[in-house]
Structure 1
Amino acid sequence: MHALIAVAHPEPGSLSHSIAEQIALGVSESASVEIADLAAEGFDPRFTAADLAVHRRRAPPPADVAAEQARIDRADALVLVYPVYWWSMPALLKGWIDRVFANGWAFDFSPDAGLEKQLRHLRVHLVAVAGADASTYARHGYLGAMKTQIDHGIFDYCGARVLTSQLLLDSETQDPASHLSAARAIGRTLVAAPCRCDDKAAG
């Protein structure tokens, strides 16, 4: 098994990066892992006319998008680690999804043929780092809204299976050691998650 961990935070010393590193250590105990530091790598999240041409099937993906698609193709599991900004993911990560999960790769859609989901082989794990507490999320329905938008709205549309969706709460007030310990456990769990390798082989 090979896991790709994508982390979206501008500060290398952030809790999000530390959590991604601990998840990677947990995975590496029995599988291979790669961390995609989207900020450090300078990924451009802006969806431009070139990306719109890809969506309309009038042009191939730009080189940076093709490179990201290739490393997702090499992975059995995709792990997204990100801080919660305004009850969603940061613009950097959303732009990465906007550009990389393109028509013709993540899904095929045309008015005549309809929708064909292309990422049925991919297992997804979401780890969101939240500043608020559980009661805030419950009181306002934020968690349900995030799951609808991200788990279902993005990944189910492409056929990818979200096997785990973690919300690490109280990140600004709680001792980070508990979150880091939880992250290592998450990494170990990812390797143990069921894999339907026949899906990937079938393409």
Structure 2
Amino acid sequence: MVSETTAEALPGTEAQQGFPAHECCAGEELRGLQGFPGKAGPPEIKDDLGSQGEKGEKGERGILVANDLHRQVTALERKVQVLEAELNRYKKALILKNIKSIGKKIFVSTEKEDTFDNGKFFCAKAGSAFASPRKEAENTTLKDLITPSKQAYMGISAEQTKSTFMYLNEEAVTYRNWNAGEPNNLKNEDCAVMQDSGKWNEVDC
């Protein structure tokens, strides 16, 4: 308790025994000499540790998560590359005139006359291949691209076997629309062409 009167510590009074002097109401403080240190208190008592908690669930290992993300990114990059390749094929096709599509196939005519080998090279450069109708509807679509009184090479040849006409990827031909009496296996007639009627004939490549 703070006293409302001012008092000084006198020799031999409480101040010398280490007790605080009285304080005045104005806030001025008079202190006596510091007393002797008291006895040390009892040592600190440490609490016992509590019981161990339940083991938590095992977390995912960072390396596994990183590997999984890497695989997903790689798969997405491959898909993007495939889509870009398809887009480039369509772009190249759209540059040319006379385009017909059926299902997932797009038939394109250059309206130029050239050799079979040059045609193969041109188609490959455009990311495509010689047209190879595999059913009647495709044959009809391709026929509509042929200039009247002209004919067009197809991706069907007997160059490899010299007897049996096959697709250029060496698969057996599954659809045929040959003219009567064709193919007749005459010498050097190893390439198939489509006439403006839609019928097939064999010619020298």
- The structure with the largest helix share of the pair is 1
Report TM bin, short chain.
Answer: under 0.3
Structure of higher RCO (CA pairs closer than 8 Å, 6+ residues apart): 1
Q: Which has the larger radius of gyration?
A: 2
TM-score, normalisation: structure 2: 0.24
- The structure with the largest strand share of the pair is 1
